[in-house]
A and B are shown apart, each in its own frame.
Chain A
Amino acid sequence: MPEPQAGVLTTPDEQLIEQVKAGDLVAREELFRRHFGVSQRVAVRLLGHDQDALDAVQDGFLKAVLHLEDFDGRSGFRTWLLKIVTNAALDLGRKRRRRLTLRLDDVGTGDPGAAMNHDPALGLHRQDLRRALDAALDRLSPATRACFILFAEAELSYKEIAACQNIPLGTVMSRLHYARQKLQSSLEGVEGID
């Protein structure tokens, strides 16, 4: 992997975007690299599947690269990119349907439970919890699910979520309240998180 140029890591997004618009490909790669982690986590939450999430991030990044000229700076780059990745994930989810089961090859590769602890029983328990949460998320509408995930996983502000979803601030608050209510009641019977 090419090392980023000295100083690039601390450069603000806005400055990187200027460099990108001037044709700096290293800056462009750095811009996307720094938001890859959160894009991937959001896509995993939306789709419930690690590999599908990578595909969605790939689709989203390609669209973002092709339309980078359209980024007008009204929202932050992270917000703009997450909007595109979220839409890509929802599109992919509609085509493939959310997969609620983890593949066997998720264990030990994409599954952080296995990496965080070496107790197989704990890893399995974590997978059970994830399945339960995925199933609960699946019961939300795509728009409400995306709203909650942008809040809880990407830690976007209400204003940023409103920009991401093209909705008023009040609708963001209503969706978050509704999402929590639904998730909490769906997960009432799940054991092991008390």
Chain B
Amino acid sequence: MQCSDVTRELAAPTGDLAPIELQQHLANCPDCAAWNAKARRLDRLWAATRPAEPCDADFDRVWAHVTQSEAAPQAQRAGPRFLPLWGVMAAGLALAAAVLLALVPMTGPKAGVEPGIPRVATTQTVEPVIEVEAGQVLFIHVNGDHVAIVRRARPEDEEMAVASADVAADFELWVRSGAL
């Protein structure tokens, strides 16, 4: 029996190793016995720090917000919304997405926008072109009157902001895909 098999079984039990064999190995292998002791220590710590069950009032608050937001028109829903365009996950061809934002006048840039990101401060329709490579995911965050477009190489990667703009509630957004 390999030590790596033993620690794997201790970390995520499958029943593939018979308990008696496991015990025998632990009794004769100080390394695995030490690993097992640390694992049991982690279990105790996990149990000792288990988060409290939330109370009914917590659920009521959350649920009230959910039902209110659900009833609200999309543009007024609190919190950012994510519209992943999974088309960009398709086969290994480059995709060019052209995003057309028809915007109404705005008063000027607000604080808190990442430097270097093109901002729209015009009364005209603009056509920022955002290049998206195959395998990347494009997210469009709409939060109140602010739109931010971010890109991730993979879902678990950090977001890379590519465009940001303040818009009127009734803006239009166009996505044009390249060859797929």
Across the interface, do A152 and B46 meet the contact criterion of CB distance under 8 Å?
Answer: yes
Q: Residue of B at shortest CB range from A131? A: B49
Q: Residue of B at shortest CB range from A177? A: B11
Tell me, yes or no, whether A1 is within 8 Å of chain B by CB: yes
Across the interface, do B79 and A36 meet the contact criterion of CB distance under 8 Å?
Answer: no
Given contacts A65-B70, A94-B159, A177-B11, contact A40 B58 (CB under 8 A): yes
Across the interface, do B63 and A181 meet the contact criterion of CB distance under 8 Å?
Answer: no
Residues of B with C-beta under 8 A to A190: 45
Which residues of chain B from 94 to 113 have a CB within 8 Å of any chain A CB? none
0/1 interface trace, chain B 49-62, chain A, CB 8 Å (1 if under): 11111101011111
CB distance from A94 to the nearest CB of B (A): 7
Across the interface, do A193 and B45 meet the contact criterion of CB distance under 8 Å?
Answer: yes
Q: Residue of A at shortest CB range from B54? A: A40
Question: Looking at chain B, what size class is its interface with the partner chain?
Answer: 35 or more
Given contacts A1-B56, A66-B70, A184-B39, contact A129 B48 (CB under 8 A): yes
Residues of B with C-beta under 8 A to A44: 51
Per DSSP, chain A at the interface is: helix
Known: A54-B58, A112-B52. 16 other contacts (CB 8 A): A29-B63, A36-B59, A53-B51, A57-B62, A58-B62, A66-B70, A112-B51, A126-B48, A173-B14, A176-B12, A180-B42, A183-B42, A184-B38, A184-B39, A184-B41, A190-B45
Q: Which residues of A contact B (CB under 8 A)?
A: 1, 29, 32-33, 36-37, 40-41, 44-45, 50, 53-54, 57-59, 61-62, 65-66, 91, 94, 110-112, 115, 126, 129-130, 132-133, 141-143, 151-153, 158, 172-173, 176-177, 179-181, 183-185, 187-188, 190, 193-194
Q: Which residues of B contact A (CB under 8 A)?
A: 7-8, 10-12, 14, 35, 38-39, 41-42, 44-46, 48-54, 56, 58-63, 65-67, 69-70, 77, 79, 82, 156, 158-159
